[in-house]
Amino acid sequence: MSKYDRYHKPALGVRYDHHPAFGAEWCFAGGKKNDPKTYTVTMTARGFQCDCPGFKFRGKCKHVNQIGDCLVSPIGWMIS
Ligand SMILES: [Zn+2]
């Protein structure tokens, strides 16, 4: 199962495990200029998760927001 017990759920009532992008991962370049990092957003059956420090701390971050906003829009749901 998942590393954390926090999930970002942009669309309530949506079955993520039925979404075409279920199980997909999105990588973001992040971190500081002298300490670059890559963060990964994952779509799980219960919502989105990110491995950046902000998500671990708050249960949400700009990465999951960005993916969530994209995927729950009517256009996003049609992309598979
Ligand atoms: Zn993040």
The per-residue pLDDT for range 16-72, each reduced to its tens digit, is 788 878 888 999 998 889 999 999 999 888 889 999 999 999 998 999 998 888 776
* 31 Cα–ligand 1 center, Å: 10
- Could you tell me if residue 5 is inside a domain? no
* 71 Cα–ligand 1 center, Å: 16
Bridge-partner residues for 38, per DSSP? 29
Q: Note whether 68 and 60 are within 8 A (CB).
A: no
* 51 Cα–ligand 1 center, Å: 6
What global pTM score does this model have?
Answer: 0.76
Q: Give the domain extent around 43.
A: 16-78
From 65, 24, 73, select the one nearest 44 (Cα to Cα). 24
* 74 Cα–ligand 1 center, Å: 23
Q: Note whether 27 and 38 are within 8 A (CB).
A: yes
- Could you tell me if residue 53 is inside a domain? yes
Domain count across the chain? 1
Q: Note whether 38 and 28 are within 8 A (CB).
A: yes
